[in-house]
Structure 1
């Protein structure tokens, strides 16, 4: 196999092609899915309420779970009348609670007083 050479014997830049397109959502498609304006989706990304990545052109791309995150934000805003800064705090706390509950489920079931004393605690 021969390679094409450019000026002065240089090799052309190597091109790489992805084997599959990454599964991601644009701001417009996420907004359409969530029933909101794309500018609101972009604002949520800037505020850190939605996880997003920028490509080389600066366009925002959202992970497949973004519609779920957007629905949580909408429920907190409508149900509790929270501002966006409060929603960020509540989302962080809910995620932390989920993490702690998952940690408790992974541990073997033991009573709090097992091993230390034979009687249950006074509380």
Structure 2
């Protein structure tokens, strides 16, 4: 059974403006192992596995079935931890807040791409 938040998050990334998401890798960036991400972020590997299962942090499986992460995973984990401790949110609420923040970023990028400026400063 798949997580609906993960699908919504993935769909929102697909609708992002092309100029905002295009990156050209000169050198391939290696994926990080679960142990490396845990060490860099200071989060226990079991908690990281839980975050992946809840769809709060994205991961892939390598050939041996282990979790591998993008280099941005420690920052994503820090964001989840800040929401948990700073706002005292449960994990379901954190997923909703992350989806809303991603959507706000997409909308702000779309406004910047059209040359439209908002009167209020950006949220993020």
Larger radius of gyration, structure 1 or 2?
A: 1
1:101 aligns with: 108
1:70 aligns with: 77
Q: Where do 5+ consecutive residues of structure 1 fail to align?
A: 1-19, 112-123
RMSD across aligned positions (CA): 2.0
Runs of 4+ aligned structure 1 residues displaced above 6 Å come to: none
Q: Residues 52 and 110 from structure 1, CA distance in 2 versus in 1: closer, same or farther, beyond 3 angstroms?
A: closer
1:120 aligns with: none
Select which of 93, 96, 113 maps to 1:86. Answer: 93
1:61 partnered with 2:68: yes
Matches within 5 A, 1:32-71: 32-71=39-78
Distance in 2 between the 1:69 and 1:60 partners? 15
Distance in 2 between the 1:72 and 1:48 partners? 14
Scaled by the length of structure 1, the TM-score of the pair is 0.69
Q: Give the aligned length.
A: 92
Scaled by the length of structure 2, the TM-score of the pair is 0.68
Which protein, 1 or 2, shows the higher relative CO under an 8 Å CA cutoff with sep ≥ 6?
2
